[in-house]
């Protein structure tokens, strides 16, 4: 069953057309990997799905659970269960990490008509995730991402994902800047969320993370379009032949 | 859950916070579940004398069981009332009278309260124990 359908999507950043009639269907509960060369439009695709202000949609549509989201505000898309782990998470000095996460979670719980968590309930939930991700407990009382190393920022993105429990999870180069231990811990966090119901869109340059998070589908993105969709058997082929060896479907 | 067990549960909650300010913020957070009293219950007889902000406490006694309801006006009073009503709110008069209020220290927050707030707490406890004593005497 499809949870998200992207049809003939065209989008630009500034004056530059980046997505040029992109088609992609995400099957619910599956792990979709998007691979492609630099400049293919991978990050623009993720930004377009979440409604990033950099991007202007000039054609086509994105439907999520059967309804168009292209005119929805980013926060509404997030409340509906779409999550993006940023390639370059921003630092926000003065905003306490725990407050930020709890505010986000409680906004979502309220939207879903559920009871909000108080500070103690929230901390209890968060501390077990911190341990699994190998994060120090002081990271939750620091300002959001301020002074965090690259690996800590990516772990913090995964912490947000674990707390918010989204339905569609977009991971934009979550593996960049991670050493082997951090990659393993981040992958463990991601795999914890793989329950056959949540859908993943894993954007990556390299196959390394796909050794940890086994994808169901590989989509090759080139020049603003998905040119090929195949099973995980495509990964070793790409490793050997590169993207130039791929023929359009 | 006994009074002691409820206090132990709150101790666990407060122990989660390293920063004393976060413990106090948790008290404010508890106040989000604070209930209010109907206007007819807010009068001289239910007014918590000695509390730093306006607060009222009602004690309804039936067959030796004491049901406490309260309302505070400041964020701190709302939070502390919510916490204390969770501890004392639905007890038998005997349970309350047999409990030494010094046991509240176990939560690890009493030392964080300013002298004025400590005084407010004592004013609240005085009313609670007064209601409990009356309730016990009614049942006798």
What predicted TM-score, i.e. pTM, was given to this entire model?
0.83
Using DSSP, state whether A65 is helix, strand or coil. coil
Closest CB to B25 among A119, A124, A127 = A119
Are A119 and B19 within 8 A, CB to CB? no
- Domains of chain B, first to last: 3-139 (3.90.1010.10)
How far B45 CA sits from the closest chain A CA (Å)? 33
Could B18 and A141 be called an inter-chain contact, meaning their C-beta atoms sit closer than 8 Å? yes
A127 touches chain B (CB under 8 A): yes
Would you call B16 and A118 a contact, using CB atoms and an 8 Å cutoff?
no
- What is the dihedral angle through the alpha carbons of A169, A174, A175, A179, rounded to the nearest 10 degrees? -120
Q: Nearest CA to CA, how far is A145 from chain B (Å)?
A: 20
Instruction: Tell me the Cα Rg of chain A.
Output: 18
Q: Are A36 and A220 in contact (CB under 8 A)?
A: yes
pLDDT for residue A232: 93
When scoring B6, B16, B17, B83 by the number of chain A Cβ atoms within 10 A, the one with the most, hence best to mutate, is B16
Cβ–Cβ gap A124/B16 under 8 Å: yes
CA distance A105 to A120: 14
Looking at the DSSP bridge assignments, the partners of residue B70 are: B57
Spatial CB neighbours of B4, under 8 Å, sequence gap ≥ 6: B99, B103
Question: Closest chain B residue to A125 measured between Cα atoms?
Answer: B16
Q: How far is the C-alpha of A194 from the C-alpha of B32, rounded, in Å? A: 34
Cα distance between residue A124 and residue A114, in whole Å: 18
Taking an 8 Å cut-off on Cβ atoms, the answer to whether B16 and A123 are in contact is yes
Spatial separation of the C-alpha atoms in residues A10 and A224, rounded to whole Å:
8
Contacts of residue B19 in chain A, CB cutoff 8 Å? 141
Extents of the domains making up chain A: 2-245
Which one of 3.30.110.70, 3.40.50.300, 3.40.50.720, 3.30.70.2740 gives the CATH number of domain A2-245?
3.40.50.300
Task: Indicate whether this complex's ipTM tops 0.90.
Answer: no
Residue B140 binned pLDDT confidence (cut-offs 50, 70, 90): low
Q: pLDDT tens digits, chain A, 249 residues: what are they?
A: 899 999 999 999 999 999 999 999 999 999 999 999 889 999 999 999 999 999 999 999 999 999 999 999 999 999 999 999 998 999 999 999 999 999 999 999 999 999 999 999 998 888 888 888 888 888 888 999 999 988 889 999 999 999 999 999 999 999 888 888 888 888 988 998 898 899 999 999 888 888 899 899 999 999 999 999 999 999 988 888 888 878 777
Angstroms from B63 CA to nearest CA on chain A: 34
Mutual angle of helices B75-88 and B3-15, in 10-degree steps:
140
Helix H or strand E encompassing A134: none
Q: Is the CB of residue A124 less than 8 Å away from at least one CB of chain B?
A: yes
Interface check B86 vs A, CB under 8 A:
no
CA angle (A86, A210, A222) in 5-degree steps: 65
Could you report how far apart the first and last alpha carbons of chain B are, in Å? 25
pLDDT at position B102:
92
Residues 26-65 of B with CB under 8 A from A: 26, 29-30, 32
Whole-angstrom distance, CA of residue A204 vs CA of residue A36: 8
């Amino acid at each position: 069953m499809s949870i998200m359908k992207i049809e003939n999507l065209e989008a630009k950043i500034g004056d530059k057309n980046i997505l040029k009639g992109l088609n992609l269907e995400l099957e619910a509960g599956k792990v979709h990997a998007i691979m492609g060369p630099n400049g293919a439009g991978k990050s623009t695709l993720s930004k377009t799905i979440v409604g990033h202000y950099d991007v202007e949609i000039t054609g086509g549509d994105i439907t999520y659970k059967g309804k168009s989201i292209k005119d929805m505000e980013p926060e509404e898309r997030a409340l509906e269960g779409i999550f993006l782990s940023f390639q370059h998470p921003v630092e926000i000095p003065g905003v306490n990490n725990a407050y930020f996460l709890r505010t986000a979670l409680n906004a979502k719980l309220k939207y879903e008509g559920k009871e909000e968590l108080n500070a103690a309930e929230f901390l209890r939930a968060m501390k077990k995730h911190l341990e699994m991700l190998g994060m120090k407990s002081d990271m939750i009382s620091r300002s959001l991402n301020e002074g965090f190393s690259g690996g800590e920022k990516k772990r913090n993105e995964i912490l947000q994902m674990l707390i918010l429990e989204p339905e569609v999870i977009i991971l934009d180069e979550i593996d960049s800047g991670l050493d082997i231990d951090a990659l393993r811990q981040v992958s463990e966090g991601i795999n914890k969320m793989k329950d056959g119901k949540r859908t993943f869109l894993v954007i990556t340059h390299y196959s390394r993370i796909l050794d940890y998070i086994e994808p169901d589908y590989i989509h090759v993105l080139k020049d603003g379009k998905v040119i090929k969709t195949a099973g995980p058997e495509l990964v070793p082929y790409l490793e050997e032949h590169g993207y130039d060896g791929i023929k359009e479907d | 859950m006994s009074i002691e067990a409820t206090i132990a549960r709150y101790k666990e909650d407060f122990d989660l916070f390293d920063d004393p300010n976060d413990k106090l913020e948790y008290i404010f957070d508890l106040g989000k579940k604070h209930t209010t009293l109907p206007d007819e219950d807010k009068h001289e007889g239910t007014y918590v004398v000695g509390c730093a902000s306006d607060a009222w406490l009602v004690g309804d006694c039936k067959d030796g069981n004491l049901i406490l309801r309260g309302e505070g006006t400041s964020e701190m009073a709302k939070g502390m009332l919510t916490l204390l009503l969770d501890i004392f709110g639905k007890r038998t008069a005997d349970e309350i009278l047999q409990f030494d209020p010094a046991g509240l220290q176990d939560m690890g927050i009493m030392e964080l309260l300013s002298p004025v707030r400590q005084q407010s707490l004592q004013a609240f406890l005085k009313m609670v124990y007064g209601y409990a004593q009356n309730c016990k005497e009614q049942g006798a």
